[in-house]
Amino acid sequence: TRHDLSKYKKVSIQKAFLEGGNPNLWDFYWMYQLQQEAPRPKRIICPREVENRPKYYGREFHGIISREQADEILAGVEGAYILRESQRQPGCYTLALRFGNQTLNYRLFYDGKHFVGEKRFESIHDLVTDGLITLYIETKASEYISKMTTNPIYEHIGYATLLREKVSRRLSRTKNESRKASVTSEENTPVEKITSLVRRAALTQNDNHFNYEKAHNFKVHTFRGPHWCEYCANFMWGLIAQGVRCSDCGLNVHKQCSKYVPNDCQPDLKRIKRVYCCDLTTLVKAHNTQRPMVVDSCIREIEARGLKSEGLYRVSGFTEHIEDVKMAFDRDGDKADISASIYPDINIITGALKLYFRDLPIPVITYDTYSKFIDAAKISNPDERLEAIHEVLMLLPAAHYETLRYLMIHLKKVTLHEKENFMNAENLGIVFGPTLMRPPEDSTLATLNDMRYQKLIVQILIENEDVLF
Ligand SMILES: [Zn+2]
Ligand SMILES: [Zn+2]
């Protein structure tokens, strides 16, 4: 029976997997064993010389032959395969493969790699191996697979309790120490080994973290050695591209399971290499802060020594010095030293803050909401316009909203010193409009037309910062 573990004792499973503690261990072994049992590919070589054989195919290519002839060559052997050229459409190639006592024919493609579906393979042998595993598992476990996602382990993990304290300690340390220091000290501790699943379980218990939603950043991944899905706890089968991995937190799941995973990605600092050019929500979640720490640091510095500086935010600082601040943040995180002793010119700091906003892959005012903001700005009745802006603000992701709110409170303070710095809400709108919002499509014409509305949005937000509360 499928729950007889003794049968599979010899199966060598990666150490990390066993340490991870899979709650569906029995089903995992069962599916793993199915993969081991899948028919192996048997290449049937063409005995004669074949003309016009594409150079990327080997002697398993039999030239132009009919389905019936292919069927005969395969002789009912499970896993046997040949390649043939279509009689009706020369130049089209077919993989004929025996599985489940029938000959299956797949249209075969090549673009530097071989494929019949989504997965791309280096060799025909790999493609057939993976195909046979998939066919075998989907045949033997079809009912099980269809139910796999209905009882996920994802929401109720009880085995993380022991690690919880360690992780909370790690998180609070991350908050108070430099990014560099926390990464180094982590490297030799057992905490390093915990899975993203355990990390998340710990986080849901942690009061320190800000409850921003963040979608996972799943990319197709080829796993070395047996891996289990951290959503359904089942084996991830196949030769390559067995599942997807989140590049921000390292969560590993089946592709079909990825659709069900909630937007609760908790990025791992080790995977987040930079501060600039990093997605805003990803950055604040990785650093466990309310807002990007660049924003807090720069604003703190500007309010401490720059509010009366003439042309604040309008005057630009030396580009090299601004790049230097950017590098310092990327390298040292919130420990970056931007004090007057190193950067006496406050315009370097304002420049670094503006650059941070410009470098965001998704602007503070997101691409999704851009046109709604522009439409709201076009309303001529001021009360209706404010109401419309208020409604669109509610559509911003929470971390973006919070960052915008904080910046507007700061810019309001800047305008209170207009007598000294000559900056009012309109001037600041000209500077920050295009910095905080960019049209989703890069069209020079649209940008030119929208500029006055971009300015107006920022101006209105500064003048009515209470709309952001
Ligand atoms: Zn993630
Ligand atoms: Zn799964």
Check residue 465 and give its pLDDT.
Answer: 77
Whether residue 376 is predicted with pLDDT greater than 60 in this model: the reply is yes
pTM (two decimals): 0.71
Per-residue pLDDT at 211 exceeds 90: no
pLDDT tens by residue, 293-349: 999 999 999 999 999 999 999 999 999 999 999 999 999 998 999 999 999 999 999
Q: Distance from the CA of 198 to the center of ligand 1, in angstroms?
A: 13
Mean pLDDT, all residues of the chain? 85
Distance between CA atoms of residues 365 and 373, nearest Å: 8
CA–centroid distance, 253 to ligand 2, in Å, is 5
d(CA 321, CA 351): 9
The reported pLDDT for the residue numbered 208 is: 47
Q: Which residues are in the CB-under-5-Å shell of ion ligand 2?
A: 229, 231-232, 254, 257
Which DSSP helix (H) or strand (E) runs through 151? none
- For 50, the 3-state DSSP assignment is coil
Comparing 57 with 444, which gets the higher pLDDT? 57
Ligand 2 centroid from CA 157, angstroms: 15
Cα(34) to centroid(ligand 2), Å: 16
- 178 band by pLDDT with thresholds 50, 70 and 90: very low
- How remote is the CA of residue 261 from the centroid of ligand 2, in Å? 10
pLDDT for residue 47: 94
Given a cut of 70, whether residue 173 has pLDDT beyond it is: no
Give CA–CA dist 100/80, Å, rounded: 11
> Does 95 score more than 50 pLDDT?
yes
pLDDT per position as a tens digit, 43-68:
999 999 998 899 999 999 999 999 99
The percentage of the chain sitting over the pLDDT mark of 90, rounded to a whole number, equals 66
Instruction: Give pLDDT, residue 206.
Output: 45
Mean pLDDT on 218-230: 91
For 211-235, give one letter per residue: b (16+ CB within 10 A) or e: ebebebbbeebebeebbbbbbbbbb
Burial of 130 (0-12, 13-18, 19+ CB in 10 A): buried
Bridge partners of residue 246, in order along the sequence: 218
Residue 242 predicted with pLDDT over 70: yes
| Residue % of the chain over a pLDDT of 70 | 83
| 191 pLDDT more than 70 | no
- At 156 the pLDDT is 54
How far, in Å, is the centroid of ligand 2 from the Cα of 254? 4
Give the Å distance between the CA of 200 and the centre of ligand 1: 10
Q: Which of 283, 296, 301, 251 is nearest to 174 (CA)?
A: 283
Averaged pLDDT for residues 223-233: 87
328-330-332-336 Cα dihedral, nearest 10 degrees:
40
CA–centroid distance, residue 173 to ligand 1 (Å): 21
pLDDT of residue 198: 54
Contact 299, 410 (CB under 8 A): yes
Tell me how far the alpha carbon of residue 149 lies from the centroid of ligand 2, in angstroms.
6
Residue 267 has pLDDT above 50, yes or no: yes
CB-based neighbours (< 5 A) of ligand 1, an ion: 216, 246, 248-249, 251, 265
Beta bridge partners of 96: 82, 105
Q: CA dist 459 to 82, 118, 152, 168, 344, Å?
A: 69, 49, 48, 41, 29
Helical packing angle, 444-463 and 367-377, nearest 10°: 70
Q: How confident is the model at residue 205 (pLDDT cuts 50, 70, 90)?
A: very low
Ligand nearest, relative to CA of residue 251? 1
- Rounded distance, CA 468 to CA 390, Å? 7
H helix count then E strand count, the chain = 19, 9
Distance 334 CA to ligand 2 centre (A): 37
Q: Residue 437: is it exposed, middle or buried by C-beta count within 10 angstroms (0-12/13-18/19+)?
A: buried
The per-residue pLDDT for 19 is: 52
Residue 63 makes CB contacts below 8 A (sequence gap 6+) with 46, 50, 51, 52, 53, 84, 85
> Which of the residue ranges 13-17, 299-303, 330-334, 436-440 has the most confident prediction, judged by mean pLDDT?
299-303
